[in-house]
Chains A and B, each alone.
Chain A
Amino acid sequence: MRATTTTTVLESSPLTVGELARAVGAEDQWVLRLVEVEILHVDAPGEPPERWHFRSSDLQRALAARRLERDFGANLDTAALILDLQSELRRLRALMGAHGLA
């Protein structure tokens, strides 16, 4: 079976709350919680959730939060801290790489 398909990159066609929830197998409410605990950042938090948009890095963080919840029973506040530490670790490793130390 073979098919040609239309492709879009999330940077040019961001996801809505519902689409992000579906992509990680969660409910919309769960995505709202991710914004509340600042695992996800929205451009305009004052806007209603129907106007929020999410890009690749958001999907990546949402998937990672889902795994931490599922694999380690982490609550979302703990997951937020772990994800921030992971980001910092990657930033420092990139910095080391940039100085030829990695």
Chain B
Amino acid sequence: MDFKDYYSALGVARDASDEDIRKAYRKLARKYHPDVSKEADADAKMRDINEARDVLQDKEKRAAYDQLADHVARGGSPDGGFRQPPPGWDEGFEFHRGPGQGPADHADFSEFFSSIFGNRGGMGSAGMGGQRGPYRERGEDHHAAIEISLEDALRGAERQLTLRAQEIDAQGRPHLVNRTLDVKIPAGVRPGQYIRLAGQGLPGHGGEPAGDLYLEVRIAPHKLYRIEGHDLYMTLPVTPTEAALGAHVTVPTPGGGRVDVSVPKGARSGMKLRLKERGLPGKTPGHLYLLLEIALPPADNEAARAAYEALAKATPSFNPRRNLGA
């Protein structure tokens, strides 16, 4: 695990003020926002700057991080390798969730972040170090994402999910444990939907229940189908003969079956054929759209060349560039 330089991630100096950090973050967040950025690694950059901001804008976390950075600078291994914070590095620090900080986002943070601050959204007052009295608090809700295949989304599946979570040991020191959950993915789940796992969030305190875990469903890119809302799109290649004269062709459906489709006479490239309610299932099922693409047979033998020439002779008035005025 590499030691992460959060100051470099935001491009600020070690003595940067809160305002400097805020400005640097906002500038970079606009640059790498996934809706506007053209950078190839925008997602990764956004994660890095979110993580750096999370630490540097929190007074207690920043002080703890600075102390750890000093420790690593004094005795860290030459290659910058970093294993675990040294014992006692966080003494006297108490991490609080600041106003306006939600519990989300931290699921994507790095192993380095987890090793220091645990996999916790905001550190509750029972987080690390310091003296505290008994109190009761329901555990915070936690967020993560799960990527599944389109087939799993359609048919339902069971998946194992490993989460890193922080626990307090008998000596009162935090340590990270891996939790493996067997998660049932209901059939018909759609991208952007959330699955709620009751009681799988952060543990409660003083006998209060644990929070919930929310999993955002993401669907991995598919080699045949593209998802748009509830609908699926597939490119359907047809020959010039099939497009011109009409044809019946067999196409695969996302559910695993096959269906006969009628290509109308005079079909053009880009024409859309709709297979009603063959998209994502649900209360309002989506449709499967087939985008026609005319594939030209290669003129790589005498018979094929003769056929193309015969076609040209048979359609002397056909001018595909008529609209260009040519």
Contact of A8 among B122, B195, B282 (CB under 8 A): B195
| Interface size bracket, B side | 35 or more
- Find the B residue at minimum CB distance from A69: B100
Contact of A22 among B97, B211, B235 (CB under 8 A): B211
- Find the B residue at minimum CB distance from A23: B141
- Cβ-based interface call for B103 (8 A): yes
- Cβ-based interface call for A59 (8 A): yes
B residues with CB within 8 A of A: 22, 25-26, 29, 35, 53, 97, 100-105, 121-122, 138, 140-141, 143, 177-186, 189, 192-200, 211-212, 214, 216, 226, 228-229, 231, 233, 235, 270, 272, 282-283, 289, 291
Kindly provide the distance from the CB of B223 to the nearest chain A CB, expressed in whole angstroms. 16
Residues on A with beta carbons closer than 8 Å to the beta carbon of B196:
7-10, 13
Given A25-B104, A66-B104, A71-B29, decide whether A5 and B200 contact each other with a Cβ distance below 8 A. yes
Residues on B with beta carbons closer than 8 Å to the beta carbon of A3:
179-182, 200
Residues on B with beta carbons closer than 8 Å to the beta carbon of A90:
35
- Cβ-based interface call for A60 (8 A): yes
**23 A–B contacts from the bound complex (CB under 8 Å):** A1-B177, A3-B180, A5-B181, A5-B182, A8-B198, A9-B186, A9-B193, A9-B195, A11-B283, A22-B138, A24-B102, A24-B104, A25-B102, A25-B121, A25-B141, A57-B192, A60-B194, A63-B104, A66-B100, A66-B104, A71-B53, A86-B35, A100-B235
- Interface-central residue, B138, B141, B200, by most chain A CB under 10 Å: B141
Contact of A1 among B100, B178, B231 (CB under 8 A): B178
Given A9-B193, A63-B102, decide whether A94 and B229 contact each other with a Cβ distance below 8 A. yes
Residues on A with beta carbons closer than 8 Å to the beta carbon of B102:
24-26, 63, 66-67, 70
Contact across chains for A60 and B26 when beta carbons are under 8 A apart: no
Given A3-B182, A8-B196, decide whether A99 and B29 contact each other with a Cβ distance below 8 A. no
- Find the A residue at minimum CB distance from B54: A70
Residues on B with beta carbons closer than 8 Å to the beta carbon of A89:
35
Kindly provide the distance from the CB of B203 to the nearest chain A CB, expressed in whole angstroms. 12
Kindly provide the distance from the CB of B32 to the nearest chain A CB, expressed in whole angstroms. 12
Given A2-B180, A22-B211, decide whether A7 and B185 contact each other with a Cβ distance below 8 A. yes
Kindly provide the distance from the CB of B303 to the nearest chain A CB, expressed in whole angstroms. 32
- Contacting residues of chain A (1-56) with chain B, CB-CB under 8 angstroms: 1-11, 13, 22-26, 56
- Interface-central residue, B211, B226, B282, by most chain A CB under 10 Å: B226
Kindly provide the distance from the CB of A44 to the nearest chain B CB, expressed in whole angstroms. 18
Contact across chains for B121 and A100 when beta carbons are under 8 A apart: no
